[in-house]
Structure 1
Amino acid sequence: MSIKFLKRIPTADEIIEQIPLPKHIKDIKEKRDIEISNIFEDKDDRFILIVGPCSADNEDSVCEYIEKLAGVQEKVSDSIIIIPRIYTNKPRTTGEGYKGMAHQPDPSKKPDLFEGIKAIRKMHLRSLCEFYMPAADEMLYPENYTYLSDVLGYIAIGARSVENQQHRLTVSGVDTPVGMKNPTSGDLSVMLNSIIAAQQGHTFIYNGWEIETTGNPLTHAILRGAVDSNARNIPNYHYEDLIRISNEYEKLQLSNPSIIVDTNHANSMKCYAEQPRIAREVLMSRKYDTLLKKMIKGLMIESYLIEGKQGIGENIYGKSITDACLGWESTEKLIYYVAENI
């Protein structure tokens, strides 16, 4: 057998016992959870911004960034709810490269998942305890969800995971809003089928148990653009794209039909500086059409303290080591623009 068992990873219960969520913070999170859910259920007309680094590689710089977000949140709270991105797992197309803090709590050192699990929980807890902001993370590994289930405010299923049966079934047992990205092929039926599956209840094997779920009515769509057979990026945030997917989505008569538009990835043609322009276009489309106004609940933006990206080992504090991000000044201006134009 070509598997080497290195060390036993503690169960979620053991990790949560070691790093618990304080009672008074739990109450704050529950209030925020209701606010976020109300937007997807059309009980609150505020707009959602899911904003932060491509990958959370350093607790101090990520939390310094979130502190800045928290200051802006106070000023735009009447019109926007900000959900910080704390993405602790990074999918890699070829399997090579930095896989996120869950794998490598220190990007310059070897993988250590035992310490990584503890590190990502501590970072999410710090965001909650210091800034009262439950964050978004990507469910790259469904079995890891339980380590963060009590601290997350939002979950995304990535373009490479959205067709996976275990992801769909696991989401059906999650209470948090979950966004399903369209696959890299751009096939919107894959994304919509994932939403259909996740909104239903299922019986399946999870973490060594036979479990039964009731379905997640807050599962919704994320548009991130596509890549064609010649590796060319194809955006899907233009008005015609948004109308087409909104009409198809509405026909399915699913619970809480909602769309989040990812302003980076294939939508930006991998040009991070285009994100403000894309956000402005989406807001204009949303103003122009009543169906889009109803459907488009928010934007996903990749941003960090310092714009661009760096290589591992360059050690520029607050600069992405994966996809390039907007810098803080551009991000702050963009948030205020969104607040004034939704």
Structure 2
Amino acid sequence: MQTLDTLTEEKTDSAAGALSAAGIGGHGRARGTCTPGELSGELPLTAPAARSVGAGRVMTQRVLSGLDDRLLVVVGPCSVHDVDAALRYAKSLRELAVGLAEDLAVVMRVYVEKPRTTVGWTGLLCDPALDGTLDLDRGLRASRALMLEIAELGLPIATEWLSPAAPAYLADLISWGAIGARTVESQVHRQLASGLPMPVGMKNGSGGSLSVAVDAVRSAARPHAYLGLGRDGRAAVVRTSGNPDCHVVLRGATGRPNYRPEDVREAARLLAAAALPTGVVIDASHGNSGKDHVRQAVVAREIGDQVAAGDTDIRGVMLEGFLVPGRQEPGAAGAVFGQSITDACMGWETTADVLHALALASRRRRAARGRRP
């Protein structure tokens, strides 16, 4: 698997520096932040964190390729808004993951960017104060510090890549990445995924289209050259060799789930027709549960039933869970510690029950295939 350090970067003489200093004109302004090199110098990748990230990448790649017959589970808050709550969740999840490691490969969602259909809170990285001040410098430091501490616990990390500049600051801490339904058709994000040093899930389009996700996987597997960001903060031409570990994530659409057996078969058919591996990850939230956190647990168990029945194309499940079930409004008086401010999430007790059920399903699939008990 390639790493960012192995990719070719060609510095450009673009006007990036002038834009940062003087503003970009029109209706926007640009304000400088720390460079990727400065941030990694302040918060360097430690040896324990590096071991966790590396092991997580190998683990996810093996599960997704079918070399490891466990079930991948990507679970955690819809988006992180409270670092202390995220750390408490991580410590509990780490303990649970160790206990279920025979059957599940657990990765924690640490999503610090929040894509919006129109407007709204854009995530810890962009707006750490939750007040619209958009202190990116503080957000970058908070995001990296949080990820570093979670990685040092020995827990692999997942995130969604939204800003094309974010990987220069954070990619060395990530074991699994996602390209969301709103950006899966974006050439920029397909190029970005082609150079990321971890498996990347391509979600089906927000309208339900699977073909755009399949096309994204095909595109990201090929070499690209694109305008990126170097460690010194200057624009750079990044040349990639392609990412062979991209895959489709079934996330449903409004009023139209796609997690049932016939949906998995259709996804496998489209992937096979494109000469791609047929393994998929299923997102039990979003369109597959109508963003209903109570329904999400039901969907997860139904996916588990398919796994237990022997479906080998289902390689992973995505779940949205936090300490307290439901959601609350950002900045609300009397904020609830450990409750989402974006999509409603399952609470900890329900999440633990669902993970135990998925572990049992994974064990039964293995037994049905004549593998180790």
Bin the TM-score by the shorter chain. Answer: over 0.9
Distance of aligned partners of 1:246 and 1:3 in 2 relative to their CA distance in 1, 3 Å threshold: same
Gap runs ≥5 in structure 1: 228-232
Assess if the C-alpha contact under 8 Å between 2:126 and 2:135 holds in 1. yes
Deviation at 1:3, TM superposition (A): 4.3
Partner of 2:110: 86
Assess if the C-alpha contact under 8 Å between 2:282 and 2:318 holds in 1. yes
Partner of 2:18: none
Residues 139-288 of structure 1 mapped to structure 2, 5 A cutoff: 139-207=161-229, 208-227=235-254, 233-254=255-276, 256-288=277-309
Q: For 2:326, what is the secondary structure of its paired residue?
A: strand
Gap runs ≥5 in structure 2: 1-24, 230-234, 363-373
Q: Indicate yes or no: 2:144 matched with 1:124.
A: no
Instruction: State the Cα deviation string for residues 266-311 of structure 1 (Å, max 9, x = none).
Output: 110121111121112222223445xxx2221110000100000001
Deviation at 1:257, TM superposition (A): 3.6
Distance of aligned partners of 1:49 and 1:190 in 2 relative to their CA distance in 1, 3 Å threshold: same
Distance of aligned partners of 1:3 and 1:19 in 2 relative to their CA distance in 1, 3 Å threshold: farther
Residues 17-32 of structure 1 mapped to structure 2, 5 A cutoff: 17-32=41-56
**1:337 pairs with 345, 357, 369, which one?**
357
Deviation at 1:30, TM superposition (A): 1.7
Deviation at 1:215, TM superposition (A): 0.7
Deviation at 1:4, TM superposition (A): 4.8
Q: For 1:298, what is the secondary structure of its paired residue?
A: strand
Distance 2:30 2:192 in 1: 26
Q: For 1:234, what is the secondary structure of its paired residue?
A: coil
User: Under a length normalisation based on structure 2, what TM-score does the superposition of the two structures give?
Assistant: 0.86
Partner of 1:52: 76
**2:329 pairs with 305, 311, 316, which one?**
311
Q: For 2:171, what is the secondary structure of its paired residue?
A: coil
**1:115 pairs with 126, 132, 138, which one?**
138
Instruction: State the Cα deviation string for residues 116-165 of structure 1 (Å, max 9, x = none).
Output: 11110011111011x21121111011211111111001111110000000
Distance 1:146 1:6 in 2: 18
Distance of aligned partners of 1:240 and 1:190 in 2 relative to their CA distance in 1, 3 Å threshold: same
Paired residue type of 1:163: E
Assess if the C-alpha contact under 8 Å between 1:124 and 1:134 holds in 2. no
Distance 1:334 1:107 in 2: 31
Q: Indicate yes or no: 2:344 matched with 1:324.
A: yes
User: Whose Rg is larger?
Assistant: 2
Instruction: State the Cα deviation string for residues 34-57 of structure 1 (Å, max 9, x = none).
Output: 222211222211111100111100
User: Under a length normalisation based on structure 1, what TM-score does the superposition of the two structures give?
Assistant: 0.93
Q: Indicate yes or no: 2:97 matched with 1:73.
A: yes
Q: For 1:195, what is the secondary structure of its paired residue?
A: helix
Q: What CA RMSD, in Å, does the superposition of the two structures yield over aligned residues?
A: 1.4
Distance 2:133 2:281 in 1: 35
Deviation at 1:210, TM superposition (A): 2.0
Distance of aligned partners of 1:109 and 1:185 in 2 relative to their CA distance in 1, 3 Å threshold: closer
Which deviates the most, 6-15 or 181-190?
6-15
Assess if the C-alpha contact under 8 Å between 2:211 and 2:270 holds in 1. no
Distance 2:330 2:237 in 1: 41
Distance 1:219 1:20 in 2: 27
Partner of 2:26: 2
Larger RCO: Structure 1 or Structure 2 (Cα < 8 Å, ≥ 6 residues apart)?
2
Distance 1:253 1:6 in 2: 43
Distance 1:186 1:89 in 2: 22
Q: For 1:20, what is the secondary structure of its paired residue?
A: coil
Equivalent pairs, count: 331
Paired residue type of 2:71: F
Distance 1:141 1:7 in 2: 16
Paired residue type of 1:206: G
Q: For 1:274, what is the secondary structure of its paired residue?
A: helix
Aligned-pair identity (%): 32
Q: For 2:168, what is the secondary structure of its paired residue?
A: helix
Distance 1:122 1:144 in 2: 14
Q: For 2:92, what is the secondary structure of its paired residue?
A: helix
Q: For 1:149, what is the secondary structure of its paired residue?
A: helix
